[in-house]
Structure 1
Amino acid sequence: MSKNRIISVFSHVLVWAVLFSMPYLLSTGQSQDITRIIAHFWIPLVLSAMLFYANYFVLIDRFYFTKKIIAFVGVNALFITVFLLLREYLESNYFQELARRTLASDDDSGPRLKMFIYGQIASYMAPLLFAIAVKTTERWVTTEAERKETANIKLQSELQHLHYQLQPHFFFNSLNNIYAMVDQTPDQAKAAIHSLSKLMRYMLYETNLEVVPLTKEIDFMKKYIDLMKLRVSDKTKVNYNFPSEDTGIQVAPLLFVSLIENAFKHGVSGSKESTIQINLVIVDKRVLFTIENDNFPKKSDDKSGSGIGLVNIEKRLALLYPQRSELSTEVRDNRFVAQLEILTD
Structure 2
Amino acid sequence: MKKSTVLIVLMHLVYWFSPLARFYFLSLPTSGAGIDFEISYFTYTSASLLSVVVFYLFYFFLFPRFLYKPQLIKFTAWSLVTMAAAVVLGLAFALVYVRYYYNPGVVRSIIGVGNMSMLLVRVVSAATAACVMKGFITWFTEIRYKEQLEKQNVATNLELLKAKINPHFLFNTLNNIDVLIEKDAATASVYLKKLSDILRFTLYESPSDTIPLKRELDYILQYIDLQKIRTSNPHFVTVDFGNANQDMEIAPMLFMPFIENAFKYSTNKKIDNAIVISIAAKANTVVFNCSNVYDANEQITGEGGLGMTIMTERLQLLYPGNHQLEINKTADRFIVNLTITLHDN
Same fold by TM-score, threshold 0.5 exceeded?
yes
Give the deviation of 1:324 after TM superposition: 0.9
What secondary structure is seen at the aligned counterpart in 1 of 2:208?
coil
Give the deviation of 1:45 after TM superposition: 1.4
Whether contact under 8 Å (1:173, 1:305) holds in the other structure is no
Whether contact under 8 Å (2:291, 2:335) holds in the other structure is yes
Q: Report what 1:344 is aligned to.
A: 342
What secondary structure is seen at the aligned counterpart in 2 of 1:329?
strand
CA gap 1:132/1:299 in 2 versus in 1, 3 angstroms = same
Asked if 1:259 corresponds to 2:258, the answer is: yes
Larger deviation, residues 115-124 vs 157-166: 115-124
CA gap 1:260/1:2 in 2 versus in 1, 3 angstroms = closer
Aligned residues: 336
CA gap 1:297/1:69 in 2 versus in 1, 3 angstroms = same
Gaps of at least 5 residues in structure 2 are none
Give the deviation of 1:51 after TM superposition: 1.0
**Which residue identity lines up with residue 139 of structure 2 in the other structure?**
W
Q: Report what 1:60 is aligned to.
A: 63
Whether contact under 8 Å (2:242, 2:280) holds in the other structure is yes
Give the deviation of 1:124 after TM superposition: 2.1
Q: Distance in 2 between matches of 1:176 and 1:320?
A: 31
CA gap 1:298/1:226 in 2 versus in 1, 3 angstroms = farther
Q: Distance in 2 between matches of 1:235 and 1:214?
A: 25
Q: Mapping of 1:296-307 within 5 angstroms?
A: 296-297=295-296, 299=298, 306-307=304-305
Give the deviation of 1:68 after TM superposition: 4.5
| 1:149-169 deviation line (CA, Å, top 9, x unaligned) | 111111100000001110001
Give the deviation of 1:298 after TM superposition: 6.7
Give the deviation of 1:247 after TM superposition: 3.8
| 1:172-210 deviation line (CA, Å, top 9, x unaligned) | 122233344444555544433332222112111221101
CA gap 1:77/1:264 in 2 versus in 1, 3 angstroms = closer
Larger deviation, residues 40-49 vs 178-187: 178-187
Identity fraction in percent: 25
CA gap 1:327/1:98 in 2 versus in 1, 3 angstroms = farther
Whether contact under 8 Å (1:317, 1:325) holds in the other structure is yes
Whether contact under 8 Å (2:98, 2:106) holds in the other structure is no
Asked if 1:48 corresponds to 2:46, the answer is: no
Q: Report what 2:125 is aligned to.
A: 126
What secondary structure is seen at the aligned counterpart in 1 of 2:144?
helix
Q: Distance in 2 between matches of 1:304 and 1:157?
A: 23
Q: Distance in 2 between matches of 1:335 and 1:93?
A: 94
CA gap 1:228/1:114 in 2 versus in 1, 3 angstroms = same
Q: Report what 2:176 is aligned to.
A: 177
Give the deviation of 1:274 after TM superposition: 4.7
Q: Distance in 1 between matches of 2:63 and 2:303?
A: 59
Q: Mapping of 1:76-225 within 5 angstroms?
A: 76-95=79-98, 113=112, 117=116, 120-225=119-224
Q: Distance in 2 between matches of 1:253 and 1:57?
A: 47
Give the deviation of 1:215 after TM superposition: 0.6
Larger deviation, residues 268-277 vs 280-289: 268-277
Q: Report what 1:285 is aligned to.
A: 284
Whether contact under 8 Å (1:232, 1:268) holds in the other structure is no
Whether contact under 8 Å (2:27, 2:48) holds in the other structure is no
Give the deviation of 1:222 after TM superposition: 1.1
Larger deviation, residues 326-335 vs 44-53: 326-335
**Which residue identity lines up with residue 134 of structure 1 in the other structure?**
M
Gaps of at least 5 residues in structure 1 are none
Larger deviation, residues 6-15 vs 225-234: 6-15
Larger deviation, residues 257-266 vs 214-223: 257-266
Give the deviation of 1:273 after TM superposition: 4.8
Q: Distance in 1 between matches of 2:145 and 2:235?
A: 54
Q: Distance in 2 between matches of 1:64 and 1:205?
A: 50
Give the deviation of 1:239 after TM superposition: 2.0
